[in-house]
Structure 1
């Protein structure tokens, strides 16, 4: 059982290799599949109130977890196809966001960094 993103990545590559699916896993196709799965994730929340989205019944939570898994799997496959280290990329982005959204200006605000 994978317990890290690197383990999951290797498991996904083996899964695709065993089925000879690499031919279908171009960055374009993986990005498209990722968006489709993200849309399926969003569909579970369509028409819900904020409160309802925070208190999903167990059956709905399990369905959402399955869609989250699909999104994660395609994202990991996309990073593999492009040679991107997703952890390093996320850490770099977090550092950039810390500069864009200093605590004293961003606390409690949903405004974008370039808005007053």
Structure 2
């Protein structure tokens, strides 16, 4: 992502706020694909060729902006994700929460 950006001199546009707004926009485009699908049919419908392809494109856009944002902020995304998962594992022990939606309180 960094090389792609540098080759086009787009770094000047990649401040955190702009990247976050682009990321939110792409998440919105992904959400739009599923907005009116019945929840119980979404997975099956997402396997259909056209929706599957479009979902993949939007997920790729989300990933690209997320990776670029992490790069700009000098955050090791893989390390941050592993630390987050370790914290969530401690906060939500599987034997205590299996089959239950997490309580946000």
TM-score, with normalisation over the residues of structure 2?
0.93
**2:25 corresponding residue in structure 1:** 36
Q: Distance in 2 between matches of 1:24 and 1:86?
A: 21
**1:79 corresponding residue in structure 2:** 70
Q: What is the alpha-carbon root mean square deviation over aligned residues?
A: 1.1
SS of alignment partner, residue 111 of structure 1? coil
* Gap runs ≥5 in structure 1: 1-11
Shift of 1:113: 5.6
1:96 aligns with 2:59: no
* Gap runs ≥5 in structure 2: none
TM-score, with normalisation over the residues of structure 1?
0.85
**Runs of 4+ deviating beyond 4 Å:** none
Q: Distance in 2 between matches of 1:90 and 1:65?
A: 21
Q: Residue 34 of structure 2 is aligned with which of 45, 65, 79?
A: 45
Say if 1:38 and 1:71, in contact at 8 Å, map to a contact too.
yes
